[in-house]
Chains A and B, each alone.
Chain A
Amino acid sequence: MVFHKRRWLVRRLFFNHEQIRTMSRVKRRTTHPPYWHVLKNNQRTDEKISSDNLRFVQEVIQDKYKNKSPIKGSDLDIEKTEWDPKTKRSGVIARNIGVQHMWEKDGKKVICTVLHVLDNHVIRYVPPEEYAKSVIGAKMFKNRKPLGCLVVGAEASNPERFTRQYCSLFDEVGLLPKKRLARFIVTPNAALPPCTPLTAGHFVIGQAVDVYGKTIDYGFQGVVKRWGFKGGPASHGTTKFHRRGGTIGTGRDKARVWPGQKMPGHMGSERRFNRGLKIVRINMKYNIIYVKGTVPGPTNSIVQIFDTALPRRKFTEAPPHPTYFPPEDGTLPQEDIWDSSLHVFGSPSISV
């Protein structure tokens, strides 16, 4: 067994040709959204409107979307549902704003990813029976009990940059249109009414989360970077064989190139989940979550955070269910919450 130091480059040493053949024809990336999505971004770029009309348009927008007061827990009519270990809660849309180094109480350095929970609001809840009739829902729940779906939006922005059809998605809730939408599969007892805000307090310190993101887009890459091939010698008379793939088949078995043969091609920009990442610090004031480890995607990219699917790291006691609401009596929550294993920066130096 060859020992590969750079694990991220190696996919598998011995791979199952049958499995690769079925997966190699699956389209892994598209540049267009699914056909049932409405057109999102405003296509008209050079519209000649007079400045008066522009001002009028902005007034209309302000009138339509003003008077959005923060929603308290008591305003929404949430049914008081019980949490049980099989509940699936909503997830949250966040932005990966970078990496910060922190230290544990024994002096060991940990790399923590800083995730900024954007202004998430629930747009609508799709009950299980209805969701099972949709294209994706039918595929997902073909042979099992259907679950509901929460549509959550993040990052409110100017309605002028979106099309009318896209803005109409938010008309029911009366929210400013969001730049990013996501669907989270939830059990019916974790359903949330529209317009519910989701914040960093939705998560608990020390819990494990799964983070979904699209990996860094490397573009068209050669075989050495993409698959970890060794290439050829740099000198000693090598003619034009420094970073090439070499042989692509035996010539005897099947007498052709097998599907799934590793070759140069587009690398990155793929859906990936990093599972079981521990939350080590939550900043309630700025809505920031520090997660131990790294998440897929470059800095300043959007990711989705869920409660973990790993069976041994799930919740044993109830988290904020269905989501976190600030306390009614106006007391502010603790601004900066740290995990017990981390060294807090304002505390005295560690002495072993």
Chain B
Amino acid sequence: MLRRAVLQTFRQGLAQSFFKRYAVSLTETTVTHQPIETSDEAGEKSVPTQKTGDESGNTVVVAPPEFRFIYPEFLPDPAMERRNRLREKLERMDMLQRRSVIEIPEFYTGSIMAVTVADANSPNKFARFVGICIQRGGSGLRAWFILRNVVDKQGVEILYEMYCPLIQKIEVLRLERRLDESLLYLRDALPEYSTFPMDMEPERRLNNSVVPINPLKVKLRPRPWLERWERQNLQGVEDLNLPQRFYDRAEKVAKPWEKYDLMLHYRKTIPAEEQEKIFAEVHSQLQQQELKRKLRRRRGSDNEY
């Protein structure tokens, strides 16, 4: 089942898998190492575990580096005042317990999803909502995502907590990424960019090893807007066509030194060594759960015939 991969360091593997999975026409050359081989079965996105040896010669199991993109809520909140290793470990155990009951699939902002929740006020006690994921956040059991859709010419956004036990099913109808991490500008965009049919069918992808990036550029409605989009360096919107004074003011207000501020970025993220440890802890259980689900799906499809 699991194939041996070439011995790589964590960071090398990270960069390489990043470029492989999120294939986009980049100007810089992609790293050309031996690619991580994925199995050919449809719907399977699991990657073989890499086994690195430490000094004593014992094999240390390391999770594949994609885990930090597929399961970002396993990483704790980086604020140092509120961190505690024991509590984070217990929270991760609870998260795995919940994941053993319901499948929380891989998704990104820009993916179109359908969520079914138990709702006492619905006619058949379940409410299903289809929408595009415009933002996701939180860590641990508080992880959430927002789905947006336009229903009867009314824009509707719903925030779902990923580990809430009222959620019956989360399906990803179209797995893709957009050019931005947060699609809040869809609130000021033309409504057709946020409209998705409620009875949309899940789309099957031919190439499972790469998550496509949709290079769509969205057209915004004329001003006034909810936020000053010209100050946010958005890639996924068309030219805003604003008077020059807006761009001048944006330049004055901008903080171009922030991208050089190493401590700022260090404080906002979990260090790579810790990420490795965290995912090494959880990956065996996650892989077992995936395997069980695949078997159930295959058995289910066999039973149809």
Write the residues of chain A forming the contact surface with B, with a CB cutoff of 8 angstroms: 97-98, 100-103, 107, 109, 114, 116, 283, 286, 288, 298-300, 343-352
Chain B residues within an 8 Å CB radius of A299: 81-84
Chain A residues within an 8 Å CB radius of B120: 352
In contact, A98 and B82 (Cβ under 8 angstroms): yes
Most chain B CB atoms below 10 A, which of A283, A299, A351: A351
Chain A residues within an 8 Å CB radius of B166: 103, 107, 349-350, 352
Partner of B164, one of A97, A103, A286: A103
Measured in the bound complex, the distance between the Cα atoms of B84 and A346 in whole Å is: 23
Q: Which residue of A lies closest to B126 (CB)?
A: A351
In contact, B91 and A100 (Cβ under 8 angstroms): yes
Q: A346-B101, A349-B166, A351-B168 are in contact. List 13 more A-B contacts (CB 8 A).
A: A100-B90, A100-B94, A103-B164, A103-B166, A109-B164, A114-B90, A299-B82, A345-B98, A345-B101, A350-B118, A352-B118, A352-B119, A352-B120
Total residue contacts A-B, CB cutoff 8 A: 73
Interface of A is mostly: loop
Size bracket of the B interface: 20 to 34
Q: A299-B84, A352-B118 are in contact. Are A288 and B168 (CB under 8 A)?
A: no
Write the residues of chain B forming the contact surface with A, with a CB cutoff of 8 angstroms: 81-84, 86-87, 90-91, 94-95, 97-98, 100-102, 118-120, 125-126, 140-142, 161, 163-168
Chain B residues within an 8 Å CB radius of A343: 165
Closest beta carbon of chain B to A281's beta carbon, Å: 10
Measured in the bound complex, the distance between the Cα atoms of B119 and A101 in whole Å is: 20
Chain B residues within an 8 Å CB radius of A298: 81
Chain B residues within an 8 Å CB radius of A286: 86, 90
Chain A residues within an 8 Å CB radius of B126: 351
Chain B residues within an 8 Å CB radius of A350: 118, 165-166
Q: Which residue of A lies closest to B142 (CB)?
A: A101
In contact, A349 and B100 (Cβ under 8 angstroms): no
Q: Which residue of A lies closest to B167 (CB)?
A: A349
Measured in the bound complex, the distance between the Cα atoms of B96 and A56 in whole Å is: 47
Measured in the bound complex, the distance between the Cα atoms of B80 and A300 in whole Å is: 11
Measured in the bound complex, the distance between the Cα atoms of B139 and A100 in whole Å is: 11
